[in-house]
Structure 1
Amino acid sequence: MTAGQAHAMPDTSVGIDRGVKSAAVTSDGDFHDRVFITAGESTRYRRLQQRLARSKRGSANRAKVIAAMNTVMGRVSDRRGDFCAQMASRIVAKNALVVLEDLRIRNMAASASGTLAEPGSRVAQKRGLNRAILDKGWHRLELSLTSAARYTGTIVVKVNPAYTSQ
């Protein structure tokens, strides 16, 4: 292809369903998922949290523990961003139209703890769901798709999420 020719735009469309079991499932039947934190990193992070809980506020050792925790989580965050960017790139390269659910992720990941007067119900279950939603990086995927679509001319449309997972 010469410099003056435009890229051939595919004429297909795809819908993406974001979930907690797999990060995203396309209407083509492709499952996109990845584990972002290894078992060793998870163990190390838990131990660092324990050390943080036992360290004195404002101490130099506490600052070292926080720095070590940031190193582990920074690596995890980088993997999540890399996964979202690569997946978005593959999806927009194959499709002219990408349809996403218009999810209110911030509202979906809100706490269920309630107040002292009216405590929430099933708080532990909601906490687990919130962690799963945030771990899969739904919003980051949405941002990656819109960003990658700008370079390929792909259109990203958000639709009402009611009945889209059926």
Structure 2
Amino acid sequence: MARGFAWRGWPTLTSLVTAVAAIAALGFTAQSLRATRDQIALTEQGQLTDRFGRAVEQLGSEKVDVRLGGVHALERLAGDSERDRPTVHKLLAAFVREHAPLGSCPAEPDRARRPPTDVQGRADRARAPEPRHAPGASGPHPHLPRRRQDHRG
């Protein structure tokens, strides 16, 4: 019986079992990381949806300052979510069309006939230059505005 423990292949077998266990652990870790990444993406989408819903509710408010906050919240959402950017811009364009129909803005600036503050805020934001990246920002050309950078990967 003592002969079985004296077998010279034990170290090799132990190393092989350890290697298989390490490979299995790496596979499990990779699967866990994928699941975590998927969960984070799902949570992020839920947060974006909530932010979108709250901002749209703000656009329907009777108070100008609340509507202006909704406009800025939607602009921020457009900056945070490339996927939602076209939808946000279409919604904001519809908001401006509804609240400042064509012909309501005179050629000469007359304060009494200017568009409401919230609509003007959206128009001002549309004309504002895109923010430049901060020093040390990532990206191929951090000194260029975003619209000029190539984001195709």
TM over 0.5: no
Which of the pair has the greater relative contact order for Cα pairs under 8 Å at 6+ separation?
A: 1
Which structure dedicates a bigger proportion of its chain to strand?
1
Tell which structure's C-alpha radius of gyration is larger: 2
Which structure dedicates a bigger proportion of its chain to helix?
2
Band the TM-score falls in, shorter-chain normalisation: 0.3 to 0.5
